Structure 1
Amino acid sequence: MRLELIAASDNDLTFARDLTRRAMLPYYREFDLLWIEQAFDEAWGWREQWLVVEDGTLLGFCSLSQDRQALFIRELHLLPEHRGRGVGSWVLEELAGWAALRHLPLLRLMVFKSNPARQLYLRRGFTEMGEDECFVRMQRSTDCA
């Protein structure tokens, strides 16, 4: 497996939006939330967007932001046929390394309470920091912490 994160361009917006919508719509319905495509498109402009690629094959994407303390994973989605084979774990470890290189002590994310990815995050060293009606806030320390 030769994985890499490659900077996304505006040409990748449709792929990323469609993948996110397909992955998240069941949770939006479960928690009676409204999916707004315009909000996704607006966030595309101010977040860091990265494609998950293996030997030239597009597997998914992730969207990031940061503040003074943390690199924040806003989105992390893989095409269904590429889930369950370690790609998500690889991305999480890669992003923890990026956070450390940026001298950020934390890697953070939010996940829907019922999303099975929550277990992946726990296995990869994230701890649950709080929750609301829909989401669990999670974080893990980086090597610079």
Structure 2
Amino acid sequence: MPIELIPATDAHRTFARDLTRRAMLAYYREFDLLWIEEAFDQAWDWREQWLVVDGDRVLGFCSLSKDRQALFIRELHLLPEHRGQGVGSWVLQALAAKAAQQRLPLLRLMVFKSNPARRLYRRQGFVVMGEDECFVRMQKVVA
């Protein structure tokens, strides 16, 4: 697949916010959390935003932050028609390579406990580091 990550711009914010809301709203409801549009918009300004594309087709987006030891996947969402086709695995491998290039030894994320994407993360080498009533914290050693 000629998939790549390209920088998202402010023009992609509405697409990314809507995709995130559609993907996450059921989990927010399940765990009695409040979706706040403004929180997404504020985070957009300080995180790294990437589109997942195949040629001129946008497949999804991811949002990243980092500290001194880890690249943190804050959001990773694919359009429903592109799930289950290896795109998520490709993105996780690309992000692991990005972390290694930046000399960051860890790739981290948090996922809702009931999200089936946990299986994908385990297959890609992520291990559980902790959990609370809503989320599981996972990480993968990349360097």
Q: Taking structure 1 as the reference length, what is the TM-score of the superposition?
A: 0.98
Q: CA RMSD in A?
A: 0.4
Alignment of 1:4-23 (within 5 A): 4-23=4-23
SS in 2 for 1:133: coil
Alignment of 1:46-85 (within 5 A): 46-85=46-85
Which deviations, in whole Å up to 9, do the C-alpha atoms of 1:84-121 show, x marking residues without a partner? 00000000000000000000000000000000000000
Amino acid at match of 2:117: A
Q: Taking structure 2 as the reference length, what is the TM-score of the superposition?
A: 0.99
Distance 1:109 1:139 in 2: 6
What count of residue pairs does the alignment treat as equivalent?
143
**Structure 2 partner of 1:91:** 91
| Unaligned runs of at least 5 residues, structure 2 | none
Amino acid at match of 1:94: A
Residue 40, structure 1, aligned to residue 40, structure 2? yes
Residue 141, structure 1, aligned to residue 141, structure 2? yes
**Structure 1 partner of 2:117:** 117
SS in 1 for 2:38: helix
| Unaligned runs of at least 5 residues, structure 1 | none
Q: CA deviation at 1:55?
A: 1.6
Distance 1:62 1:91 in 2: 9
SS in 1 for 2:33: coil
- State, as a whole percentage, how many aligned pairs show the same letter: 76
Amino acid at match of 2:74: R
Amino acid at match of 2:86: G
Amino acid at match of 1:60: G
Distance 1:129 1:72 in 2: 14
Distance 1:140 1:74 in 2: 15
Q: Which stretches of structure 1, 4 residues or more, deviate above 4 A after TM superposition? A: none
